[in-house]
């Protein structure tokens, strides 16, 4: 048998900077949203507060994933990153419900908005969320936990840009309904990004095959190795949002090929499928070998 491990880059600094910037912006946005009586700013402040909590949860999962395996947790605590992604998605769904509820109420009772204040604060949000998203850009494709952080920040930057546009339109039109309308757009943007995150995190939490791995191609690769007569009990699952594990039984009628074969097989799985923890068992199944003419 062979085992392979890899660990992602350290994003502690990115999390710390992102949390500090967003917490500061939440306080500024909430204050000016209250002063300007802007639901768009207040709802975005609430969403940004959920992002701070989300970043804290993601950071916690990222930290736990680096704890070494123990007698009680032989795979380590990498699954914490999957749990963090799931919690983040659920928190965002609650935020969406709150925004929609307030927007409907504001449609019924519209109030004037201080457009200049709204535009200024939202413009600051574009910059802060954009910088925070950039901090997680390099890890957003290979790690669902980091991808969640990146998508939230990138979406927030776009949402803040939408608030700027809505406030500018209000200056020229005087339409009070633009404020709750942009809040509904905010809710829709959050919902779209959250649904994908929730779907993937729940899939991984139930030991689903990661989306980046095509199981048939993995089976074909193992079947194509020299002297392999059959492959069975093939299992692929996510140990964390950045580590993939595999177990497989290979029937080899000519007997065990030696450790070099196992090392090459594991290297191929790592290079071709990003599977970094492979456990392979060699068997000489008499029935299969007889059918293959190796009795």
Q: 202-249 pLDDT, tens per residue? A: 999 999 999 889 999 999 999 999 989 999 999 999 998 888 999 999
> Is there a contact between 183 and 96 (Cβ–Cβ < 8 Å)?
no
CATH architecture of the domain with residue range 12-205: Up-down Bundle (1.20)
pLDDT above 90 coverage of the chain, percent: 24
CA angle, residues 214, 220, 222, in degrees to nearest 5: 105
Q: Residue 32 phi/psi, 5° resolution?
A: -75, -30
Q: Can you give 26-60 as a three-state secondary structure string?
A: HHHHHHHHHHHCCHHHHHHHHHHHHHHHHHHHHHH
Mean pLDDT of 109-134: 82
Q: What is the pLDDT of residues 157-204, one digit of tens each?
A: 877 787 788 788 888 887 878 778 887 887 888 788 788 888 989 999
Residue spans of the domains in the chain: they are 12-205, 215-291
Q: Does domain 215-291 have CATH number 1.10.10.60?
A: no
Q: Which two tokens stand for residue 44?
A: 């975005």
Q: How deeply is 209 buried, as exposed, middle or buried, from its count of CB atoms within 10 A (0-12, 13-18, 19+)?
A: middle
- Decide: 14 and 288 in contact? Cβ < 8 Å: no
Q: Report the distance separating Cα 274 and Cα 263, nearest Å.
A: 15
pTM, two decimals, is 0.76
287: exposed, middle or buried (C-beta count within 10 Å: 0-12, 13-18, 19+)? exposed
Mean pLDDT of all residues in 16-36: 86
């Amino acid at each position: 048998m062979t085992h392979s491990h890899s660990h992602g880059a350290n994003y502690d600094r990115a999390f710390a900077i992102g949390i500090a910037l967003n917490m500061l912006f939440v306080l500024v946005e909430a204050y000016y949203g209250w002063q300007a009586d802007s639901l768009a700013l207040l709802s975005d402040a609430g969403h940004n507060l959920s992002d701070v909590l989300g970043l804290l949860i993601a950071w916690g999962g990222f930290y736990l994933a680096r704890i070494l395996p123990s007698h009680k947790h032989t795979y380590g605590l990498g699954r914490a990153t999957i749990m963090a992604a799931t919690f983040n998605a659920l928190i965002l769904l609650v935020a969406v419900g709150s925004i929609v509820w307030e927007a409907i109420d504001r449609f019924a009772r519209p109030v004037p908005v201080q457009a200049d204040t709204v535009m200024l604060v939202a413009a600051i949000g574009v910059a802060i969320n954009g910088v925070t998203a950039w901090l997680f850009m390099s890890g957003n494709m290979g790690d669902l936990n980091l991808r969640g952080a990146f998508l939230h920040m990138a979406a927030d930057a776009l949402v803040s840009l939408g608030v700027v546009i809505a406030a500018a339109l209000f200056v020229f039109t005087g339409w009070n309904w633009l404020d709750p309308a942009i809040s509904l757009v905010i809710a829709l943007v959050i919902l779209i990004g959250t649904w994908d995150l929730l779907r993937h995190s729940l899939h991984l939490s139930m030991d689903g095959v990661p989306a980046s791995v095509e199981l048939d191609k993995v089976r074909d690769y193992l079947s194509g190795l020299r002297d392999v007569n059959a492959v069975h009990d093939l299992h692929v699952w996510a140990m964390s949002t950045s580590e993939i594990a595999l177990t497989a039984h290979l029937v080899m009628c000519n007997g065990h090929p030696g450790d070099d074969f196992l090392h090459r097989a594991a290297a191929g799985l790592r290079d071709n499928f990003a599977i970094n923890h492979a456990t392979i068992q060699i068997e000489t199944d008499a029935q299969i070998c007889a059918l293959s003419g190796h009795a």
